[in-house]
Structure 1
Amino acid sequence: MMNFVWAILTLIAILFGVLLGNGDLVAASVLSGGEAAVKLLLTLAGTISVWSGIMAIADNCGITNGLSILFKPVLKFLFPDHKNNKEAMNAISTNITANLIGLGNAATPAGLKAVAAMHNGGDTANRGMSVFVVMNTSSIQLVPTTIAALRLSNGSSSPMEIAPCIWISSVAALAVGIMATKICTGFTR
């Protein structure tokens, strides 16, 4: 369905561009847009590959187990139904770590593993899964690597300058998201 919507929007934009006498600009935009998309893809792929490799090394070295211990008091509060599920806690810790360094894409495999470990059967998400999805969506990013890579690829002289704004907005989003989830799902069983 979305493919259909995007195709229609693209055709309408091209049609209006041509009808308004800007056919040459439309053609130039299509060609330069494709080139820009490939450059962006390569920039982000390189950044994600490097940091995904670092996350895999951290996981294999046991660093994520250590982080799981560090995060344990907070994770026990956020996931009381899963506090004894070591597999879920380690996957959640890995996901949180990847999100802290701004790698939402690298956090996805750990996120899927965490949800699978928390799944207790049935057709609906349990409380822990709901909290985790909110945390994953509105996570704190200490090192916004993806945004920095985008800013750098677009010529920014200081790509990390935006970090304080990201810290404030991500902490606020996470706090509101967790409180809303806890209110909707209940604080205790």
Structure 2
Amino acid sequence: MMSPVAIAVLSVSMSADAFAAAIGRGAQHRPTVPQALRSGLVFGVIEAITPLIGFALGVAAAGFVAAIDHWIAFGLLGAVGAKMIWEALKRDEETVEAADAGGKAASRGLLALVATAVGTSIDAGAVGVGLALLDANIWLIAACIGFTTFALATLGLLVGKAAGARLGKIVELVGGVALIALGLKILLEHLGVLAG
């Protein structure tokens, strides 16, 4: 069972990619508040669905990996966190400028928005697999992730409109560190180093 604090950390961490992407979209397209709310809803719904899919896959495999489930959860969360940190560190000024310049008109459509939301939610599917191995309350966690992503993506679009895309790098770094810390906490609790 995950604590409310762990669920909150997970929700914010899973939302970091969407927040960073939303900042970039906001800087490009300068959305109105209703447009930001609609786009945030797309991010939130997709981000809530992907851990459910991952959870279903994890439940199917749980019987085979029960003895090492804590290591798998640690590995998945650590890998996703490390990937977020790596992507944030390799994103440089040219990458941000290229993203700003490339496809401004084409990326305004719903298809581009959905593709961005799916791309930022893939990691949540991997986390869903890990949550299945922990026998977590996936419905509560998916709802929290979805709501948090909706709120942060909407905010990100509006912040991006005002501040530009560079803030997204910092958000992605913090989210990656938080996921690694959460994975380490799960492992240390299972090994008896920390009280659960």
TM-score, normalization: structure 1?
0.30
Of Structure 1 and Structure 2, the greater helix share is in 2
For the pair shown, the structure with the greater C-alpha radius of gyration is: 1
Q: Greater relative contact order (Cα 8 A, min sep 6): structure 1 or 2?
A: 2
TM-score, normalization: structure 2?
0.30
